[in-house]
Amino acid sequence: MNNEALKTIRLYDTLLGEKVPFEPRDPGKVNMYVCGLTPSNYPHIGHARTAVVFDVIQRIFLYFGYKVNYCSNFTDIDDKIIAKANEEGCSPKDLAQKYIQIYLESLETLNIKPPGCFAKVTDHISEIIEMVEVLISKGFAYESGGDVYFSVRSFKPYGKLSKRSIKELLVGARIEPGEKKRDPLDFALWKAAKPGEPSWESPWGKGRPGWHIECSAMSLKYLGGSFDIHGGAQDLIFPHHENEIAQAEAYSGIEPFSKYWIHAGWVTLNKEKMSKSIGNVFKLSEALSLVHPNVLRYFFISTLYSSPLDYDVKNLHQAAKSLERIVLTIKRLFDYSSSAQKVKTGADSILEKWRNDFDEALADNFNTPQAIGVIMHAVKEINRWIKELTLSKEDANFWYHQMNTWMEILGFNEVENTNFALFSEEEIVAKLKDLMNKHKIDVDEQQSLDEMIKALVNLRKKCREEKQFVLSDQIRNELFQLNIVLEDTKEGTTYRFSEELQ
């Protein structure tokens, strides 16, 4: 890769609110920390999008000739893990390890390059305790009944990432029952142990880390102060990343904690942000049961990483169709390269322009949709050359390798083996039976597709009448993922298949 493209890379920095030139702390090297998973359940498509986003960002830096020191984490102890472990009748450690393994297998399925280090909270208790001790000694934190809290008002620049003032933050802020903090804005660095919960010895008694302190402690250990990029999903901007900045800069005295902040956009489901509280969280395993991993990757990167992305089957269909056009062109090039055409197309000059366009897209805030646009333009022209028989054997072979190179840069694995088929009507029937069993509806093997859908619609109606809105929304979203759209009217609820299955 030429040095010019390397020098002109620009990224959108959440802290500054604008695109800025990337200037690494260490020339030619990227030090990047991305907040990872809390392994309390199966990974969902929001986790997958964030993982793919930063995988592509890592690949782009590598393509431009940088060395990448990429670290992420697992929050392998917290309230959710403890509650889920009690529910499943196992230890929090075993539960976390179970879901960590499932997540790592998911990364491999999506052809995601794993970070150079995956740090676990429970392996870094001593670093966390040392950091808390220093914050107390500097007057930024205080102990209260075995808990330790960070004093938000003691850190004057608090709110600079999320652009929130202390006055704004005070609106609605309160001290919850059981909390021992002095100010409703303060946040926990260390939590006193509760009976039956995992705990570690500390100067303040047995306890465990608060959520925010872990990422500061681990990123500073592995990347040092003022490292290059801190990333994560958009919903971490406040309070998690805001709190990380406060405790890290107060601890080290080094500003900035991270030079650049990059955030991946939300994944929405039927135009709503995914949330467990409304029952519309869609597991990654469910998505991969519908589409090939390459199709899901294409779907994720066909929208700019920082923009919201609406997940539905229609959009997956569109991603499959677009990717299929690229793959079919690659296959045509391979077949055509066995011909004996002698005509030259001037591929070298065209390639130089398209390569520059592709590189400029990636260097401009990792703009994968624009880079894909370059590939699609090449697809159109290449198919015209093939149709007009104006492509030589040598040029066909040349473009075959170039197209594969572009796809590899974007992280596609064995792209020519991609399966583009989504579910058939028979598969929809099978999935509806699974839903009926899940919701304890009797399944009659003689039931028609219409009867099965109406049985689920009637259950949703009953849930709404009984004010079980979370369950009713869950049923609606489960049907939506099968391209079955429910429409509520004054006369009742009707359904239709979205246009892809009509």
| C-beta of residue 265 within 8 angstroms of C-beta of residue 234 | yes
Distances 182 to 141, 147, 174, 191 between C-alpha atoms, Å: 11, 11, 11, 15
The stretch 296-324 carries a mean pLDDT of 92
Other residues' Cβ atoms within 10 Å of the Cβ of residue 408? 14
- CB within 8 Å of 454: residues ≥ 6 apart: 495
List of E strands, 159-293 = 187-192, 207-209, 227-233, 258-264, 267-269, 272-273
- Structure tokens of 442? 């009797």
| C-beta of residue 49 within 8 angstroms of C-beta of residue 300 | yes
The stretch 299-305 carries a mean pLDDT of 98
Answer left, alpha or beta for residue 257, where phi above 0 means left and psi between -120 and 50 means alpha: alpha
Q: Going from the N-terminus, what domains does the chain have, and what CATH number goes with each?
A: 3-278 (3.40.50.620), 291-417 (1.20.120.640), 425-501 (no CATH)
- pTM for the model: 0.87
**pLDDT tens track for 435-464:** 999 999 998 888 888 899 999 999 999 999
Distances 326 to 118, 294, 295, 374 between C-alpha atoms, Å: 34, 12, 12, 11
- CA-based R_g, the chain, Å: 26
- CB within 8 Å of 122: residues ≥ 6 apart: 76, 77, 93
Other residues' Cβ atoms within 10 Å of the Cβ of residue 287? 20
CA-wise closest residue to 236 among 411, 59, 396, 14: 14
pLDDT bin (cut points 50, 70, 90) of residue 391 is confident
Lowest mean pLDDT among 52-66, 140-154, 219-233, 393-407: 393-407
CA-wise closest residue to 488 among 453, 451, 461: 461
pLDDT bin (cut points 50, 70, 90) of residue 3 is very low
Give the span between the Cα atoms of 231 and 33, in whole angstroms: 6
- Structure tokens of 384? 């015209």
State the SS3 of 171-188. CCCCCCCCCCCCCCCCEE
Give the span between the Cα atoms of 115 and 69, in whole angstroms: 8
What is the signed CA dihedral for 6, 11, 15, 16, rounded to 10 degrees?
Answer: 90
**pLDDT tens track for 205-214:** 999 999 999 9
Give the span between the Cα atoms of 300 and 307, in whole angstroms: 10
pLDDT of 499 > 60? The answer is no
List of E strands, 38-116 = 67-74
pLDDT of 272 > 90? The answer is no
pLDDT of 15 > 80? The answer is yes
Q: pLDDT at position 500, please? A: 46
Give the span between the Cα atoms of 202 and 190, in whole angstroms: 9
pLDDT bin (cut points 50, 70, 90) of residue 18 is very high
CA-wise closest residue to 235 among 210, 266, 261: 266
Task: List the strands of the sheet with 141-144, edge to edge.
Answer: 141-144, 147-150, 187-192, 207-209
